[in-house]
Structure 1
């Protein structure tokens, strides 16, 4: 029983750390949010903090995983709902502009994770597959409803949207005047099925 209680406390502390770390990275930026800053924010030493995660890199992977979890609850409608595609996608993009530190962390680690040996590699591969699968299914529904062009298959379209989202984040980090939600909206407009021809 004591072991189970200790385990539960450890899980709770880990969640507390990740929740606070999200705030620290979002507020202070990726470069400023050192292990020391995060440890101070949750009342731990650096060694005490890393006890829960192993390494600095794994800590940042778990921060990104926690971010996905929070965003999923906050922004996602039912995948069968028309709002799942345009409104939810735009809401996440808009939110990203409010948390530049998390955007920088995601963008930097996604590049580094191209190395199969990097601690974030499996996370980014699995995340990409999950995002594309869910998005492709929702896009397919919109195509079947005649709301989006079917000139591009849903799987390819999902990959394009993922590339647009990731690429826009990098552009925005370089130039904060980039209108990420506006660019996404323009893509949706371009892919909308044309209205039926008017009858004479």
Structure 2
């Protein structure tokens, strides 16, 4: 029993330390950008020695991945709080606020895209994170496609998983373009792209025709 208690305490301290490092790294990224991050400054802000920190995170890249994972959790929590029960399937999709987060947190968007480029290497610390991130995004978008198909807002013959993969590619590609040239409305472009991929305009036209016929 005593050994189990000690193990739990050790595990709890490890989790706290890892979170402290991730939070410190995220603060630096938001303040200065990911390129300016150094392991020495992260350790200092996390109130631990650099040696102790590198025990939990073997490299700078591991620290950046931890910061990105924390940013993901923070943004997911924010979006859940904002939209739970307040939106319908007929609202703009994805929510404009999702794109606005990319604009307001540009440093995190830059970090994400930088890690995405590195993640093609299976040996890179970001590989597993990006693989899980994209798989989850595809599944979430696919569920959105299915729900919209059920209410007549997406073409019934579409393969939700295939469309979802295209949506993820569209979302990533437009964010990359926006970072290079922020002169266009990212939220509007993403929404328009999603409408095109799901055939929403055609379905809306079909519904209008059906409504007119029913009135004759």
TM-score by length of 1: 0.86
Q: Residue in 1 aligned with 2:105?
A: 99
Superposition deviation, residue 5 in structure 1: 2.1
Q: Residue in 2 aligned with 1:54?
A: 58
Cα gap change, 1:57 to 1:151, in 2 (>3 Å): same
Q: Residue in 1 aligned with 2:156?
A: 150
1:116 aligns with 2:122: yes
Q: CA RMSD in A?
A: 2.5
Cα gap change, 1:47 to 1:172, in 2 (>3 Å): farther
Match for 1:174 among 176, 180, 183?
180
CA-to-aligned-CA distance 1:141-182 (integer Å, 9 cap, x gap): 111110123353211211111011111121122122232111
Matches within 5 A, 1:6-155: 6-76=10-80, 82=88, 86=92, 89-155=95-161
Structure 2 unaligned blocks of 5 or more: none
Superposition deviation, residue 27 in structure 1: 2.3
CA contact (8 A) 1:85 1:135 kept: no
C-alpha separation in 2, matches of 1:96 and 1:122:
22
C-alpha separation in 2, matches of 1:84 and 1:53:
44
C-alpha separation in 1, matches of 2:102 and 2:50:
28
Superposition deviation, residue 85 in structure 1: 8.0
Which of these two proteins has the greater Rg computed from alpha carbons? Answer: 2
Cα gap change, 1:88 to 1:184, in 2 (>3 Å): closer
Structure having the higher helix fraction is 2
Deviates more, 1:22-31 or 1:158-167: 22-31
TM-score by length of 2: 0.80
CA contact (8 A) 2:89 2:147 kept: no
